[in-house]
Amino acid sequence: MTRLQSIKGMKDILPAGAAIWQHAEYAARRVLEAYGYREIRLPLLEKTEVFARSIGTQTDIVGKEMYTFTDRDGDSISLRPEGTAGCVRAGIQHGLFHKQQQRLYYFGPMFRHERPQRGRHRQFHQIGAEAVGWEGPDIDAELIALVARIWRELNLDEIVLEINSLGDLEARNKYREKLVEFLSTRASQLDKDSQHRLRTNPLRILDSKDEKTRNALADAPSILDSLDSKSRDHFESLQQHLRAFGIPFRVNPRLVRGLDYYSLTVFEWTSDRLGAQGTVCAGGRYDGLVEQLGGKPVPAVGFALGIERLVELVSNAVKGPENPDAYMVTLGSAARRAGMVLGEELRDAGLRVVCHCGEGSIKNQLKRADKSGAHVAVILGDDELASGNCIVKPLRGENKQVTVQQPDVLAAVSAFVGTSNSETDKETNR
RNA sequence: GUGAGCGUAGCUCAGUGGUAGAGCACAGGAUUGUGGCUCCUGCGGUCGUGGGUUCGACUCCCAUCGCUCACCCCA
């Protein structure tokens, strides 16, 4: 009998890790809501068509990475590989974009059948934001400033911003032709993948890691030279906004996005502490997508932030799970019952209390109490039960234990928790 | 999908062609109702799986599965 194992690329997040996730997640939520973004909760499954029509059938995501299957009704459905498509579908379906503007965000798992490696799993999680109904570039800049604030909230200062403009659909198509023309004459200098992309997704050749290909691109035409004047103004204004915000950035004319729906503004935040998958947040403008999915044409801009990657950056800068305030040590069945009731009363007052359950000598129970990280142990045995008091024993610092009447337990515990908090926080922060 | 590296105790890892080790963790004791530090003792392994070579394989060979990293792709 072989032991059961999780599916390849699907990770369990154990309690210690979950604490960091919560920390990162809530920081992001706080910031998003500070900018007026509101949460939208979306299905994990959509009709395959939702993704095929938005992300593009030529992309690897749709072509070979989606979890697609036929359900019992014979419909082709897919686990979502990203969030934007479903968000736009929902907005159209419920009329959210009808003569309205929406700042939306979502959070949750995405699925892509890729070969797992560092920073890339088959089930991974994203925080996404979509601002629908504004042409920008002010909203684009605000969106980027929002992300910068998330980094600040989490004390991350090594994440670098790159921006680019792909122009509108027309300019982008024109540039694509120019690039293909340029590269076709030197196709032999390209790596194999790029030769293939010349036919499928030529813009992606621009951010190839292959050295030969990069050399061949040395004096390729820049997309920024192909921009029409409107797109150029849009991009220039975005940069002015960012300078006004004091957000450092680098213009990278080679920066492109893998998904088909982007136009005008694209941006990417990367860290060199993440191995090969350095992009922690990326996004851009997708003015054509709402119409493409059957809505009236509405401009939109958004980003997706990879939580696993974020957590990896945050993990050494954050404290562990919240420790309990008190650990209830009880000796004998009568004391056990009284102690558990006392625990309820302490929780009523807002404390975190762990009651010892199961067997255990006082020694054993105090050992557990220490291990739990609790600030104090509350000890209740036959003697205490008989005299209506109990012992409150601080486990951190130099204070001595005290015996108090049961109605005074809350005050005694609170006193110790208050005095030892700063000290233990320092401990756990290291 | 391609390539490379690695699979030994719950965890982190040593190890040798002669039948398996440490640290941490866990349990008990020194300390009958007082944790942490120390000391002692104990528990814990089909050496990923299957096959082959060999008198003998955890070790060498083959296959397979898994993990990791990189390519590809992307957040």
Read off the pLDDT of residues A28-58 as tens digits, 9 standing for 90 and up. Answer: 999 999 999 999 999 999 999 999 988 887 7
A398's tokens: 């130099």
Q: What is the domain range of residue A337?
A: 326-429
pLDDT at residue A352 greater than cutoff 80: yes
- Spanning CA of A77 to C1' of B54, the rounded length in angstroms is 56
- Spanning CA of A191 to C1' of B6, the rounded length in angstroms is 30
Q: What is the pLDDT of residue A2?
A: 59
Helix (H, G, I), strand (E, B) or coil at A87: helix
The C-alpha atoms of residue A274 and residue A209 are separated, in whole angstroms, by: 16
User: Which residues are within 8 A (CB) of A261 and not within 5 positions of it... i.e. 6 or more apart?
Assistant: A54, A55, A56, A84, A286, A288, A289, A292
Q: What is the pLDDT of residue A3?
A: 67
Q: Nearest protein residue to B49's C1' (by CA)?
A: A2
Domain at A347, CATH number: 3.40.50.800
pLDDT band at A268 (very low <50, low <70, confident <90, very high): very high
Last residue of a domain, one of A291, A317, A343: A317
Is A309 found in the same domain as A332?
no
The C-alpha atoms of residue A271 and residue A313 are separated, in whole angstroms, by: 9
The C-alpha atoms of residue A198 and residue A220 are separated, in whole angstroms, by: 14
Q: What is the mean pLDDT of residues A307-323?
A: 78
pLDDT at residue A167 greater than cutoff 60: yes
Q: Which nucleotide is nearest to A304 (CA to C1')?
A: B75
Is A365 found in the same domain as A296?
no
Q: Which nucleotide is nearest to A268 (CA to C1')?
A: B75
pLDDT band at A375 (very low <50, low <70, confident <90, very high): very high
Pairing of strands A123-132, A102-111: antiparallel
CA angle, A205 as apex, A203 and A206 as ends, to 5°? Answer: 75
Helix (H, G, I), strand (E, B) or coil at A94: coil
A423's tokens: 């000290």
Is A349 found in the same domain as A282?
no
pLDDT band at A429 (very low <50, low <70, confident <90, very high): very low
The C-alpha atoms of residue A58 and residue A38 are separated, in whole angstroms, by: 32
- Spanning CA of A311 to C1' of B75, the rounded length in angstroms is 12
Q: What is the pLDDT of residue A172?
A: 83
Last residue of a domain, one of A317, A351, A383: A317
Say which residue, A41 or A216, is predicted with more confidence.
A41
Is A356 found in the same domain as A423?
yes
Q: What is the mean pLDDT of residues A150-163?
A: 93
Tens of pLDDT along A63-112? 789 999 899 999 999 999 999 999 999 999 999 999 899 999 999 999 99
- Spanning CA of A10 to C1' of B10, the rounded length in angstroms is 21
| Number of domains into which chain A is organized | 2
A160-165 β-sheet, strand order: A38-39, A102-111, A123-132, A300-306, A279-285, A263-270, A160-165, A250-251
Residue A359, in any domain of the structure = yes
pLDDT at residue A421 greater than cutoff 50: no
Q: Nearest protein residue to B31's C1' (by CA)?
A: A363
- Spanning CA of A117 to C1' of B6, the rounded length in angstroms is 14
Residue A208, in any domain of the structure = no
Chain B positions with an atom below 7 A of a protein C-beta are 1-3, 26-29, 31-36, 66-75
Q: What is the pLDDT of residue A424?
A: 40
- Spanning CA of A2 to C1' of B54, the rounded length in angstroms is 30
User: Which residues are within 8 A (CB) of A145 and not within 5 positions of it... i.e. 6 or more apart?
Assistant: A242, A245, A247
